[in-house]
Amino acid sequence: MRFNAKDLALLAKRPSGCFDKEGKLKICRVVGDEKLIEPRERWCRLKGNLLFLMKNKSSEASEVVILERCWVVEFKSKTDVSIILKFQSGEPDLYIEAASKPDCEAWAVALGEANSEGLRNKIQQLRRLIMEIKEERASEEARQFLPSSQVDSLGEPQFTSIQRIANEPKLEFSLACKGLVAATRDRKLNTFIQVSVVHPAEHILTRYSSTEIVEGTRDPLFLTGVTFPPEYPIYEETKIKLTVYDVKDKSQDTVLTSVLPDHKEPRADVGRSFLGCATFRVGDLVKSKEQQLTLTLRTSDGGKTVGTIEVNLVKMGEFEDGEMDHITTDAQDQKCALVRECTAPEGLSGKDNLPSLNAVLKNPICKLYRFPTSDNKWMRIREQMAETTLSFHVPKELINLHIKEDMRRNQELKDLGELAPHWDNMRKSVIAHCDQMLSMYQDTLAELGKHTGSSFKSSCSKGEKTLEFIPINLHLQRMHVHSPRLKDALYDVITVGAPAAHFQGFKNGGLRKLLSKFEAERRNTGYQCIYYSPENTAKAKEVLSNINHLQPLISSHADLLLNSASQHSPDSLKNSLKMLSEKTELFVHAFKDQLVRSALLALYTARPGCVLKKPAVPRSSAEESDDLKHQNHPSQIKRQDSIPHHSEYDEEEWDRVWANVGKSLNCVIAMVDRLLEKDNSSKTKEGESDPSAADCKVLHAGGDWYEQLYPLVITLKDCMGEVVTRAKQSMAFVLLQELACGLPQCLMLTLRRDIVFSQALAGLVCGFIIKLHTSLHDQGFLQQLHTVGLLVQYEGLLSTYSEEAGMLEDMAVGISDLQKVMFKVIEAKSEDFLPIITGRREHYVIEVQLPAKMFELLPQEIKEGKLLRMYPVLFNVGINEQQTLAERFGDTTLQENINQENLELLKEYYNLFTEKMPPDCLPHFQEQNDLKGLLENLHQNIQAKRRKNVEIMWLAATICRKLNGVRFTCCKSAKDRTSMSVTLEQCSILRDEHQLHKDFFIRALDCMRREGCRIENVLKNVKCRKYAFNMIQLMAFPKYYRPPEGTYGKADT
């Protein structure tokens, strides 16, 4: 071979950065098994296919080895740090010894890829990657479904649709490889498969998903399968490309095993290397006799065979026939190799699909797994995640209700009539502030009305003002388990960011602290108003609500009564009277409260020209003279701890006014009874007068029914109108005091509470609807729902340090406020199945609409409109590094108090359940002692006050599932800590309820965290497939809450 010695000498002396690899090695020549001389230390530099051997780093090259027509032989011993470089020419082999095993392996790979054949493979691989990147840039963003218009255009007659069951995935298959060939001999492979889709019309390659990484075997069997949801445009003509990669360093290959943002591709020599690929048509798999394909893996140029890949069609509800002969497991690292494959199912069987939730759920993401059981059988798991349209629907409905309620309140304040100057100025100030808040609510609703696109709020948007009413990252997380010897099971968890007012911030704490501080200031600070307790204020709002609800109903029933009288219909007259009597009695009883009487007196004293002579309730002379002094001078009125009494004010007048309503009703009843009696009697003589109607004005017997009832009904309406006017004014005066006592803080706290409640309610409505749909055939649950109510258990992962303590305070109040929510199930009258929200701030009713066929499955009590109660409970355990700081240097009493308070609420629900429900009504409840033991264990763990006691959350979640409750998991953004908790819960359920093989617990956990729905959730939120943890943070996390290597790093949260 001819070469230029000077050029080679110059090349050998170039700076270190110019070489592919360099370092110290011990080298000698070998003939057979004998070394010609003892290995000598040399400084070695690799550039392309040239290996320079030098005595030291600064000396000239003493020898150049051309790395062509040679191969590397690695020794199998774990302790051996040497390799042999063999040449086809027959010249002596080159013995190379490194300082360590990793260094030896690195040199083996570098030398094996240095020849021209290795370079050609790299060039082919780079060409392939360039083509993929070009094609993907023209395609849609990875993992996003095609627009419906495009799907329609693709679904032309020449494409054959795949037959499937409604609401089931279009296609699911599992993967395994055999006989993979490594780039260098004797190298252990760490492989995964990347799945890409080529649509027949577009001819564009779109990366779709990946399997997990299987370590240390040339025959990997992958636990993560591939699933295409019902909405995905896939046909028999669609081609699927399977690309196998060897991962060299998992930390370098941080989640590059799946879709990358902005279509970026890693360098071929960093993190992973290409092994081979294969392509098949979907129709070939679906129509294959054994529902299985065996494909040959080839290199990028299509020449070299590097192994085979098996594709097995999967259908939930059917099992793979083969059993695992044995499982080889590294007990420490949980690296498993399944020695024998499972055969494909022989036949296909149909399965009842779950009720449709298309009106509520959107953009589902599906993942498929197969895990071994303790008896070496296979179980299949389908993991699903979906966002919900309720994220925006519920807050918009709620804000609309707030606007109507506040407009009604402002009008009631204006209708108070003439007030003394002090009170009138106060009213003007309150109305001005309320109008500002009302305008803000209207602006927010208008902005939300403009929102288009995604139906969820990402974690990056939690501080946006226009979206502050929207829950953060609200999703349904579902696990469907089909195991060999157990019944199919469905496990749902709602994941959502902690309900909190992020835009307003947490500098002064959250709602729990702010409300307590505000109430204390109202009590102890001298305001220019009358103090009413929160209970009295709530009662005033309830009275106003009852007035607004009952008055139109009574008027309507009174008109129906007159209409029945005009038609001379006895039956209709009886029914109308019955309804009128019921509503009027409710109306009368609504005002049997001391608050109305005392508020009327307070309003009387606030009128112009009111002069108080002496109080009706005896008090000390000092108090009396002080009160009289200030009451005679409105400009100096001081805050009063009790309602004033006026000796000249006739307190009995109010009693007479509202009692007149009852008397007027009695007159109507007596007249109807008389008319019906006369109608039934054949006598011409009039019967004797009814004593109860002695005070009533009775017309001539021969008069018409309508003429005789009309004046009585008018009197009833007039009496009711007078009561309504007085009661409305008195209750509006109470609300005036509440608002005036704390302007503007009172309105800001109301706004903050509305924001937090809106986020919490959206999650609750989503959880209730999904639970109802999935339990329509569970008569025990339906009986429990209308007899006891629904348990809603929230798992919080917030710390009690810094801002997260404020978030936890907001969350605790927001979840507690859900107790004032009631649900009602109605039959849908149209194709719009979205829930309807009615009510006011202290009481909401959510009307859930069901199609007629589903509605008929409900018990009679629910169909008749019985209101269904909610029992929300919250248990929080901080698990991150901030909680470590709180436990060592801060305060954890907030968390302890919340857990203790909610334990009492949980016990209250359990006691109510045991009282009202038969012991055998629920499948889980057959073990009553078990539940008692769990509650006692939960009580002990809460009392123990141990650091990061995550057993509290596990116990609370187990109790919730056994009591047919709805599960929620929350952290700051429902992205990172929530993902760790949800995946741990899923794997724990598989282990405890479905006999997951104990040696596969960690591997199953890593599969779900690395390639499951939760890493897709991270991508949706921050456009990066990394959990937002670093190594320092994870050192503070409990063991099982740490993600696998390569799935975390720096990312915005």
Is residue 528 a contact partner of residue 638, using CB atoms and an 8 Å limit? yes
Strands 821-827 and 843-850: parallel
d(CA 863, CA 852) in angstroms, rounded, equals 11
Who contacts 7 (Cβ-Cβ below 8 Å, separation ≥6)?
Answer: none
CB atoms near residue 298 (< 10 Å): 17
The token pair at 1009 is 């965290």
- Backbone φ and ψ for 663, nearest 5 degrees, come out as -65, -40
Is residue 733 a contact partner of residue 700, using CB atoms and an 8 Å limit? no
Listed in sequence order, the DSSP H helices in 693-845 are 705-740, 745-774, 779-787, 803-816
Give yes or no for a cis peptide into 744 (omega within 30° of 0). yes
d(CA 997, CA 323) in angstroms, rounded, equals 13
Catalytic residue among 971, 987, 1007, 1013: 971
Is-catalytic flag, 529?
Answer: no
The token pair at 521 is 């200031």
CB atoms near residue 962 (< 10 Å): 17
With CA atoms as reference, report the closest residue to 199 among 158, 163, 169, 167: 158
408-417 burial, b at 16+ Cβ within 10 Å, e below that, comes to ebbebbeebe
- The burial of 470, by beta-carbon neighbours within 10 Å (0-12 exposed, 13-18 middle, 19 or more buried), is given as buried
Distances in whole angstroms, Cα of residue 206 to Cα of each of 160, 241, 258, 418, 1009: 20, 10, 11, 72, 23
With CA atoms as reference, report the closest residue to 237 among 270, 282, 202, 203: 282
Query: 818: number of CA atoms within 13 Å, CB side?
Result: 31
The token pair at 698 is 């009775």
Specify the 3-state DSSP secondary structure of 171: strand
Torsion region of 782: left, alpha or beta (phi above 0 gives left; psi -120 to 50 gives alpha): alpha
840-849 burial, b at 16+ Cβ within 10 Å, e below that, comes to bbeebebebb
d(CA 117, CA 108) in angstroms, rounded, equals 16
* Torsion (CA) 754, 756, 759, 763 in degrees, nearest 10: -110
The token pair at 999 is 């040696």
- Backbone φ and ψ for 907, nearest 5 degrees, come out as -65, -40
d(CA 434, CA 508) in angstroms, rounded, equals 23
Is residue 544 a contact partner of residue 412, using CB atoms and an 8 Å limit? yes
The token pair at 586 is 């409710």
With CA atoms as reference, report the closest residue to 982 among 942, 1016, 1009, 1004: 1009
Who contacts 639 (Cβ-Cβ below 8 Å, separation ≥6)?
Answer: 525, 526, 527, 528, 529, 530, 531, 741
Is residue 209 a contact partner of residue 226, using CB atoms and an 8 Å limit? yes
Alpha carbon 23 to chain centroid distance? Answer: 53
Who contacts 88 (Cβ-Cβ below 8 Å, separation ≥6)?
Answer: 69, 70
Specify the 3-state DSSP secondary structure of 531: coil
With CA atoms as reference, report the closest residue to 49 among 118, 106, 101: 118
Who contacts 170 (Cβ-Cβ below 8 Å, separation ≥6)?
Answer: 162, 164, 228, 229, 230, 232, 234
Q: Which residues pair with 196 in a beta bridge?
A: 207, 241
Q: Catalytic site residues? A: 971
